[in-house]
């Protein structure tokens, strides 16, 4: 137990550094400011940056970390970032509310999971009734995923005590019994099992919803209008590096572990649960609209999807 506590203290200190208050860097007009979350889902971005792939395209890119998707979207709304790697849920909600951004590419499917304490009597989703479960944020991908899981067992959200917690702190909080379980993105699903006091109840990839949509690349309307060539070059790199990540797993695990301050062993395990891809337009739209249907049921989305312009794929070639 002492070893587990020490390991989690290290994770806490790293997370505190990674999740410290960010400061926007004053940049030139030519610099592309890209928001991201400290997550394995953004591995392609981390690898591209580490291998200077943007510079090879003549781009100057500044990466800015955010605590949550809604925080990132608010920065885009205020014109503080040009591009963002973000979960689909806060993106679709923002676009539905008129925020001037568009989805310009897919990033990944899957990559989330639910972890419960070893000390609990939870052995299936059906056992979550009456339990306390942490999510990153209301309206997050993990929030919608939890709702979907519960619905498969006819459990309403009101029958579960849902609380918010910053993801890097979840494994440590579970150890100290702050809640019974949590829904998170990788690597903090694997970390909860490998270095925490938890067991993985389910991965999104094991769910009945195959190809669960997760993160996307968004661009602000103003950036797309003012610097279309830069956006095209950026997306060319995104496509190239996504293919690279899928064929260089060990190198990716090393780069991501250095970026997030996690162990290479955790990254090697957690990256198995993330499906990095550039989906075809039709397939991607279909998955997103299914996701939006659940958001509408929750009251997060107000307008009919057909009446809202969520996508702009004109800046990249069809895969």
Query: Is residue 317 pLDDT above 70, yes or no?
Result: no
Query: Is residue 110 pLDDT above 80, yes or no?
Result: yes
Q: Does residue 316 form part of some domain?
A: no
Spatial neighbors of 226 by CB under 8 A, at least 6 apart, are none
Tokens of 68: 């949550």
91 and 228 housed in the same domain: yes
Compute how many other C-beta atoms are within 10 angstroms of the C-beta atom of residue 296. Answer: 15
If you search the block for the tokens 């955010």, which residue do you land on? 66
What gap in Å lies between CA 114 and CA 67, rounded to an integer? 19
- Beta bridge partner(s), residue 163: 134
Domain holding 41: CATH number?
A: 3.40.190.10
Q: Does residue 218 form part of some domain?
A: yes
Q: Looking at per-residue confidence, does 22 or 104 come out higher?
A: 104
238 and 296 housed in the same domain: yes
Query: Is residue 26 pLDDT above 70, yes or no?
Result: no
Q: Does residue 317 form part of some domain?
A: no
118 and 106 housed in the same domain: no
pLDDT bin (cut points 50, 70, 90) of residue 206 is: low
| Upstream peptide bond of 187 is cis (omega within 30 degrees of 0) | yes
Q: Indicate the residue among 169, 190, 206 that finishes a domain.
A: 206
- Beta bridge partner(s), residue 165: none
Q: Looking at per-residue confidence, does 74 or 175 come out higher?
A: 74
Tokens of 39: 């997550």
Q: Domain tally for the chain?
A: 2
Tokens of 255: 């780069």
Task: Report, as an integer, the average pLDDT of 132-154.
Answer: 93
Q: Indicate the residue among 206, 230, 253 that finishes a domain.
A: 206
- What pLDDT is stored for residue 106 in this prediction? 94
Q: Does residue 202 form part of some domain?
A: yes
168 and 226 housed in the same domain: no
Chain-centroid distance of CA 28 in Å reads 28
Beta strands (DSSP E) in the chain are: 31-36, 60-65, 83-87, 101-106, 108-110, 112-117, 132-135, 161-164, 181-185, 198-203, 215-220, 274-276
Task: Report, as an integer, the average pLDDT of 130-157.
Answer: 93
- What pLDDT is stored for residue 5 in this prediction? 46
Q: Looking at per-residue confidence, does 6 or 59 come out higher?
A: 59
pLDDT bin (cut points 50, 70, 90) of residue 75 is: very high
What gap in Å lies between CA 295 and CA 314, rounded to an integer? 26
- What pLDDT is stored for residue 208 in this prediction? 59
Task: Report, as an integer, the average pLDDT of 38-57.
Answer: 97
Chain-centroid distance of CA 112 in Å reads 8
Q: Does residue 103 form part of some domain?
A: yes
Domain range for 185 is 112-206
155 and 230 housed in the same domain: no
pLDDT bin (cut points 50, 70, 90) of residue 71 is: very high
pLDDT, averaged across the chain: 88
Q: Does residue 24 form part of some domain?
A: yes
Task: Report, as an integer, the average pLDDT of 102-109.
Answer: 95
b/e per residue, 108-138, with b = 16+ CB within 10 A? bbbbbbbbbbeebebeebebbeebbbbbbbe
Q: Does residue 318 form part of some domain?
A: no
Query: Is residue 148 pLDDT above 70, yes or no?
Result: yes
Spatial neighbors of 300 by CB under 8 A, at least 6 apart, are 89, 93, 139, 144
Q: Does residue 60 form part of some domain?
A: yes
81 and 34 housed in the same domain: yes
Q: What's the Cα-to-Cα distance from 113 to each of 30, 99, 140, 205, rounded to whole Å?
A: 38, 29, 13, 8
256 and 145 housed in the same domain: no
If you search the block for the tokens 């506590």, which residue do you land on? 5
Q: Indicate the residue among 176, 206, 236 that finishes a domain.
A: 206
pLDDT bin (cut points 50, 70, 90) of residue 196 is: confident
48 and 131 housed in the same domain: no
pLDDT in tens, 269-306: 999 999 998 877 788 888 899 899 989 988 999 988 77
224 and 303 housed in the same domain: yes
pLDDT bin (cut points 50, 70, 90) of residue 315 is: confident
What percent of the chain clears pLDDT 70, i.e. is strictly above it? 89
- Measured in degrees and rounded to the nearest 5, phi and psi for residue 196 equal -115, -165
pLDDT in tens, 159-185: 999 999 999 999 989 988 999 999 999
Q: Is 186 left (phi over 0), alpha (psi -120 to 50) or beta?
A: beta
Q: What's the Cα-to-Cα distance from 86 to each of 109, 218, 282, rounded to whole Å?
A: 12, 7, 20
The angle at the Cα of 26, spanning 25 to 28, to the nearest 5 degrees, equals 125
- Measured in degrees and rounded to the nearest 5, phi and psi for residue 185 equal -95, 160
Task: Report, as an integer, the average pLDDT of 209-220.
Answer: 88
pTM: predicted TM-score of the whole model, two decimal places? 0.87
189 and 228 housed in the same domain: no
161 and 236 housed in the same domain: no
12 and 136 housed in the same domain: no
- What pLDDT is stored for residue 8 in this prediction? 47
Beta strands (DSSP E) in 139-284 are: 161-164, 181-185, 198-203, 215-220, 274-276
């Amino acid at each position: 137990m002492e070893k587990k506590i020490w390991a989690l203290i290290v994770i806490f200190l790293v997370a505190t550094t990674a999740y410290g208050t960010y400061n926007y860097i004053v940049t030139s007009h030519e610099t592309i400011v890209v928001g991201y979350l400290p997550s394995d889902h953004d591995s392609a971005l981390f690898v591209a940056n580490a291998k200077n792939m943007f510079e090879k395209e003549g781009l100057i890119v500044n990466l800015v970390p955010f605590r949550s998707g809604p925080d990132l979207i608010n920065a885009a709304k205020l014109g503080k970032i040009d591009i963002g790697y973000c979960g689909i849920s806060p993106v679709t909600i923002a676009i539905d509310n008129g925020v001037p951004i568009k989805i310009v590419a897919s990033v990944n499917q899957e990559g989330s999971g639910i972890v419960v304490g070893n000390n609990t009597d939870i052995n299936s989703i059906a056992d979550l009734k009456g339990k306390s479960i942490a999510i990153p944020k209301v309206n997050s991908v993990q929030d919608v995923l939890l709702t979907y899981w519960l619905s498969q067992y006819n459990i309403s959200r009101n029958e579960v005590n849902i609380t918010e917690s910053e993801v890097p702190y979840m494994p440590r909080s579970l150890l100290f019994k702050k809640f019974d379980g949590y829904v998170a993105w990788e690597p903090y699903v694997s970390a909860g099992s490998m270095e925490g006091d938890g067991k993985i109840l389910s991965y999104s990839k094991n769910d009945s919803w195959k190809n669960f949509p997760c993160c996307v690349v968004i661009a602000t309307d103003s950036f797309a209008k003012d610097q279309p060539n830069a956006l095209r070059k950026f997306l060319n790199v995104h496509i190239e590096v996504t293919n690279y990540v899928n064929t260089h797993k060990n190198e990716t695990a090393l780069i991501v572990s250095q970026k997030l301050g996690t162990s290479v062993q955790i990254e090697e395990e957690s990256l198995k649960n993330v499906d990095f891809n550039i989906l075809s337009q039709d397939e991607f739209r279909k998955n997103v609209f299914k996701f939006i249907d659940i958001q509408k049921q929750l009251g997060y989305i107000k307008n009919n999807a057909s009446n809202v312009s969520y996508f702009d794929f004109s800046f990249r070639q069809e895969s």
